[in-house]
A and B are shown apart, each in its own frame.
Chain A
Amino acid sequence: MSMLDRQPRATAPLLLDRIWQINWLLVLLLSAIAGVGFAMLYSAAGGSFQPWAEKQMLRFAFGLTGMILVALVDLRIWLRLAYVIYGLALVLLIGVEIRGEIGMGAQRWIDFGFIQLQPSEIMKIALVLALARYFHGLDMDEIGRPLMLLVPIALVFAPAVLVLKQPDLGTAIMLIAGGGAMFFIAGVRLWKFAAVLAFAAATLPIAWELLRDYQKKRVYTFLNPEADPLGAGYHIIQSKIALGSGGLFGKGYLQGSQTHLNFLPEKQTDFIFTMLAEEWGLVGGLALLGLYALVILYGFLIALRSRNQFGRLLALGVTSTLFLYAFINSGMVMGLMPVVGVPLALVSFGGTAMLTVLFGMGLVMGVYVHRDLELNRQGEVGTD
């Protein structure tokens, strides 16, 4: 069978083959993570499916179906659509930017009636797609040429600057870090990263000036949350209290006193991990982190198995994005990182992030399904 087939393929597998190649274990892992989310949203509502858990379950069911469909689509189609998707995402971002200006403030959503889309979330995957396509089209010599890096750098910074203007520091960090990971695995020389880091360090004071006051305050608060316990430091202090008081085994499901007494705001979105750790303790927290680690590990294995550079880059890019979701969010609620708005993938209440992650995971699965496909630099099957 295909599992043992080490010969490169010239053609895409048949549809039935593709369904057979879906990583059902991965689907199970993702469902387990989402299941934790449902349980926490049920608890956050004080033991009720309303208003969050039920909606989230519907979205997941929708997203899961979508994920499988995405996995079945011929990888070459995604390769061909990569720039188009990126372009659309960028247009949407610019769209909210304009609407945001009109609306006098931060606006991150576009209302399509049936769903409110958050273009910055979509961009997280669109960027991975675009970079995967770009680096797929370069050979090792070309990657060595600094001029060839101008385009992908522009691909990263255009949306990063836009979301920073929204302002959404968390997403900007994710775009840059995710893009950086793509550069790294594509084979850009390490000294170039060092150079960029040095440049970033040098321009840090300028960047600092560009930050909004509340963003600066967040950084100050991160450095010393106790200085403003009722203001900006409130979230992080309350989060640590709730988390720490959970102890080894937690206070019991639906028994989290800090979250249920509303000491912790946004418990259903960015701070849902705190609630989990309060109610289920260290055991629960590590279990969820373990589930993410397994999914990420799965993503790495799929990437390593892919015979085409596009699939490798795409799988690792999406996987790294998922890693960033989990790491930034849980690092933030544990006081390891500044409070930035990054949801906990699949667990936090929120539609676009869930659909984004599932779409991304669909692509990863698609990479596995088409792992033996050999693509030339133009994205055509065959050899150079």
Chain B
Amino acid sequence: MRQQRTQARTFTRRALLLGGGQAVLFAALGARLYYLQVVEAGRYTMLADENRINLRLLPPPRGRVVDRYGEPLAVNGENYRLVLIPEQVGDLEKALDIIDRIAPLGEVDRRRVLREARRKRGFVPILVRGNLTWDEVARIEVNANDLPGVAIDLGLTRQYPQGAVMGHVVGYVSAVAEHELTGDPVLELPDFRIGKNGVERHREMALRGTAGASEVEVNAYGRIIRELGRQEGRPGEEVVLTVDLGLQRYVDQRLAQEESAAAVVMDVHTGEVVALVSSPGFDPNLFANGISTQQWNDLRQNPRGPLANKAVAGQYAPGSTFKMVVAVAGLETRAITTDQRIHCPGHFELGEQRFHCWKRSGHGPMNMHEAMKQSCDVYFYELARRVGIDRLAPMCRRFGLGESSEIGLPGERSGLIPSREWKQAARKASWVHGDTILTGIGQGFVLTTPLQLAVMTARLVNGGRAVMPRLTRAAVMRENQPAVRRDLFPSLGISAHALAAVRDGMSAVVNEQGGTAYAIRVRDPDMAIGGKTGTAQVRRITMAERERGVRRNDELAWRERDHALFVGYGPVEAPRYAVSVVVEHGGGGSSIAGPIARDILVETMRRDPARMVPPSRIMAGRPDGRS
């Protein structure tokens, strides 16, 4: 009995201890629950919402790009795609058989669909085929009852209906690269494309628009349960180019007759670029839809450089087309008068050095009019000597040479106007008189782009105003934008006398017997043109060529030929358009580049928008082109 009582007492004591321990542990549970559900409730509520609420981006449709008359240059093509949701399909093999009869599937696609169906979760749609024809879409809709879980999905893909003609100007879109991510979540969407070249790139932000968002509740597997809220985005704006598609086509065809060439046509008063062609071009559709390695290598290794936009990125010695600027500098610095004559014996001597005129027999005594008309080199050697590089270089810059025009095309180069400081820095050598002499005829170190040559010509013939080239008109918003008054470009401060003398000389080049381009004169007085030929020696490989980096032996003959250049304007009486043409390795400026430039100018004048008023809603934007 005592034994049992001891046992009972021990038991009671131990039971109370155990119960106390359990009570403490239960209290700990309660405290923990209180901590999680009251103290930390806010944090966990936030985490819970992050868990279940998902923001789905609604990518905005990209804005169209159209030419000045509204012709589509870049549009959103509708891409009908066939998608299926495996868990709704049932027998996948059978469904694919039915689909195959309606919209033929390759064996590759079929295997891919089956593979994806195994890998992905059942409710994730799988792309079966893209680019369905209307016929296929219709037949699938008709058979919809036999195809549960199969749906037509409308995707937007960028299309360039004009193909290669507008390739360099419009550019293209393609997938976002890692370094292009800015934190804008829309860029991280798998299908999203951004502008990679041309206007597509330059006006990316306007074209892109802003993404909308849909707030959805999702379950743990990411399946959408319901939409909680929606915020509409803003579609991309339409971008209207200054380019006239018809003219652009014409220029492209005209240049296509040469191996490799570039041309720029612009309005000398407004700066609107109505045509800008680098030939050969490339089809931007290739890039938008994904280019094959083969196609890419073909483009890249082509010695004609279809990927380089030679109109803005090709840098060429301007040759004789540069002489107008030397003439203006001579007159403005009073180094010469229009009547003063310089004798041309066929060469020019500077100390021990001898510089030849293209005409070995010599031109005899030349005034400015004659020197320009016949493109006498000796006259301009002497003129450059008198002006000196320190006064010549700033004059070049005033005409837009050696500086980027900021037209907004990727890869634009600024050319090169040499100076003492430049030579010291870049070549580690002192400027010598011979450098100045060579500069006088647009050789030596001088490099210009076709676009700069067009700008230079425009500024020479528009009354000396600092016109800037531009490619886009005001981006037209969904709402009508108030018209912006056209501001005049500021004056360059060149005397009317000097400008008149230069125009007189350029007119003589084409329209007077003995002018270097007399052969290309236009007899219709309304369309008469003026201009200047140029032939640039190819002693060095141009920067553009060097970039391509290929020099193949079988092309050496072509490679060694001179570049043919021509800058011109028209009509002579009231200049409206300026053109520059560079034909790489084309030979003589008068025989090759001249006729092309003439044809382009005539076509431009024929298509003068004065006779085809652009849509009234499109008003000229600010002159800097950033409307």
Q: Is the CB of A241 within 8 A of B47?
A: yes
Q: Is the CB of B11 within 8 A of A309?
A: yes
Complex Cα gap A336–B48 (Å)? 20
Chain B 219-234 interface residues, beta-carbon cutoff 8 Å to A: 219-221, 225
Contacts A277-B37, A303-B15, A316-B18: A258 and B52 contacting too (C-beta < 8 A)?
yes
Q: Which of A261, A330, A331 is packed against the most chain B CB atoms within 10 Å?
A: A261
Q: Which of A186, A241, A277, A285 is packed against the most chain B CB atoms within 10 Å?
A: A241
Q: Which residues of A contact B43 (CB under 8 A)?
A: 244
Q: Is the CB of A327 within 8 A of B37?
A: no
Q: Is the CB of A336 within 8 A of B29?
A: yes
Complex Cα gap A248–B38 (Å)? 6
Q: Is the CB of B30 within 8 A of A384?
A: no
Q: Which residues of B contact A297 (CB under 8 A)?
A: 19
Complex Cα gap A330–B25 (Å)? 11
Complex Cα gap A316–B472 (Å)? 89
Q: Which residues of B contact A304 (CB under 8 A)?
A: 12, 15
Chain A 240-294 interface residues, beta-carbon cutoff 8 Å to B: 240-248, 257-258, 261-264, 277, 281-282, 285-286, 289, 292-293
A81 interface residue per 8 A CB criterion: no
Q: Chain B residue with minimal CB distance to A282?
A: B37
Contacts A243-B36, A263-B219: A300 and B51 contacting too (C-beta < 8 A)?
no
Chain A 57-69: CB-based contact to B (< 8 A → 1; otherwise 0): 0000000000000
Nearest chain B CB to A159 CB, angstrom units: 22
Report the count of interface residues on B (CB-CB < 8 A): 42
A208 interface residue per 8 A CB criterion: no
Main secondary structure of the interface of B (DSSP, over half): helix
Q: Which residues of A contact B220 (CB under 8 A)?
A: 261-264
Q: Which residues of A contact B45 (CB under 8 A)?
A: 244-245, 247
Complex Cα gap A172–B29 (Å)? 22
Q: Is the CB of A261 within 8 A of B14?
A: no
A323 interface residue per 8 A CB criterion: yes
Q: Which one of B2-10, B348-356, B411-419, B463-471 contacts A? A: B2-10
Contacts A139-B7, A262-B221: A334 and B22 contacting too (C-beta < 8 A)?
no
Q: Which residues of B contact A285 (CB under 8 A)?
A: 33, 37
Q: Is the CB of A334 within 8 A of B33?
A: yes
Contacts A244-B40, A244-B44: A331 and B29 contacting too (C-beta < 8 A)?
yes
Chain A 152-190: CB-based contact to B (< 8 A → 1; otherwise 0): 000000000000000000000000000001001111000
Nearest chain A CB to B452 CB, angstrom units: 58
A320 interface residue per 8 A CB criterion: yes
Q: Chain A residue with minimal CB distance to B11?
A: A312
Main secondary structure of the interface of A (DSSP, over half): helix
Q: Which residues of A contact B36 (CB under 8 A)?
A: 240, 243-244, 334-335
Complex Cα gap A297–B20 (Å)? 11
A296 interface residue per 8 A CB criterion: yes
B55 interface residue per 8 A CB criterion: no
Q: Which of B10, B11, B22, B37 is packed against the most chain A CB atoms within 10 Å?
A: B37
Q: Is the CB of A300 within 8 A of B34?
A: no
Nearest chain A CB to B47 CB, angstrom units: 5
Q: Chain A residue with minimal CB distance to B23?
A: A293
Q: Which residues of A contact B29 (CB under 8 A)?
A: 289, 327, 330-331, 334, 336
Report the count of interface residues on A (CB-CB < 8 A): 51
B1 interface residue per 8 A CB criterion: yes
Q: Is the CB of B18 within 8 A of A184?
A: yes
Q: Which residues of B contact A336 (CB under 8 A)?
A: 28-29, 32
Q: Is the CB of A261 within 8 A of B217?
A: yes
A14 interface residue per 8 A CB criterion: no
Chain A 42-84 interface residues, beta-carbon cutoff 8 Å to B: none
Contacts A241-B44, A289-B29: A185 and B11 contacting too (C-beta < 8 A)?
yes
Chain A residues with a Cβ under 8 A of chain B:
139-140, 181, 184-187, 238, 240-248, 257-258, 261-264, 277, 281-282, 285-286, 289, 292-293, 296-297, 300, 303-304, 307, 309, 312-313, 316, 320, 323, 327, 330-331, 334-336, 383-384
Extra 20 A-B pairs, beta carbons < 8 Å, given A245-B47, A293-B23: A184-B18, A185-B15, A186-B11, A244-B40, A244-B45, A245-B41, A247-B37, A257-B217, A282-B33, A282-B37, A285-B37, A289-B33, A296-B22, A303-B15, A312-B15, A320-B18, A323-B25, A327-B29, A336-B28, A383-B1
Chain B residues with a Cβ under 8 A of chain A:
1, 3-4, 6-8, 10-12, 14-15, 17-19, 22-23, 25-26, 28-30, 32-34, 36-38, 40-41, 43-45, 47-48, 51-52, 217-221, 225
9 shortest interchain CB distances as A-B pairs:
A244-B44, A245-B48, A261-B219, A262-B220, A282-B37, A263-B220, A187-B10, A247-B41, A245-B45
